[in-house]
Copies of this chain bind each other. A is one copy, B any other.
Amino acid sequence: MATRDDGGQPKYRRIADVLREAIRLGDYGPGARLPGENELMTEHGVARMTARQALGVLQTEGIAESRKGAGVFVRAFRPVRRRGVQRLSGELWGAGRSIWAADIEDRDLVVDQIAVTEEPAPERVAHVLDLAPGAPVCVRSRRFVLDGKPVLLAASHLSAALVAGSAITREDTGPGGIYARLAELGHEPAHFREEVRSRMPSQEESRRLSLSAGTPVMLICRTAFTADGRAVEVNEMILDSASYVLEYDFDA
């Protein structure tokens, strides 16, 4: 039975509230170690299980994270700022830079896994690219690592017929990346749509992104369209939500 105080709320929740408020006020900054079970037991006069539950609440909420043998720490939110609009502007990728350059600012985002395959189009991708179900697509799967931590899984899909023989089918797509190559093929992207949602990760996603408990993923599905409205690429991205802020700027 949980110990209750006068307010009818279990004691571990009250202790979690106190710690959460102290974090909000900056008494414990990002990366700071929170009081351990022994300290909470002494300070609040509670059993070890109650102290442990209080720390567990903050971990479930994603506010704190446990490091084996070292204690429970305030999670630092020091995200990459991903600018959805400017990073796809023609000036940037037209000039031969990777579209990812704008994401990094002064941090080091690198691809540590890449696979380029030809596969039958998944139904949702075939639908968007206006291909027959199961038509072959070139799939460029990449994992991006920031400061040694995996933060993003991306799977870009393009019609195999459209990109056959181009550098898009190779690991190294050359200066300007796939959008520069699409332009050379006469399919220059002119318009983009990004759809964003969030959910809890699957076990596989959690493993590939090394996610802590209580960390959702953000999903971005980006579609690139030519000037005449043809969808030429569908890029499905899975992002560690603790590592990203997405930014979109636009005019009224």
List residues of A whose CB falls within 8 A of some B CB: 13, 20, 57, 60-62, 79, 84-85, 88-90, 179, 188-203, 214-218, 241-242, 244-252
- Name the one of B62, B88, B250 contacting A191, with C-beta atoms under 8 angstroms: B250
- Name the one of B61, B196, B200, B250 contacting A246, with C-beta atoms under 8 angstroms: B196
A251/B191 in contact, CB under 8 A = yes
Report the copy number of this chain in the oligomer: 2
- Name the one of B89, B193, B216 contacting A200, with C-beta atoms under 8 angstroms: B216
- Chain B residues with CB under 8 Å of A190's CB are 251-252
B252/A197 in contact, CB under 8 A = no
Q: How far is the CB of A232 from chain B (nearest CB, A)?
A: 12
Output the residue of A61, A215, A248 with the most chain B CB within 10 A.
A248
B61/A192 in contact, CB under 8 A = no
- Name the one of B84, B197, B200 contacting A244, with C-beta atoms under 8 angstroms: B197
B250/A195 in contact, CB under 8 A = no
Return the chain B residue nearest A24 by Cβ: B202
- Chain B residues with CB under 8 Å of A195's CB are 245-247
Given contacts A60-B200, A198-B241, contact A85 B250 (CB under 8 A): yes
- Chain B residues with CB under 8 Å of A79's CB are 197
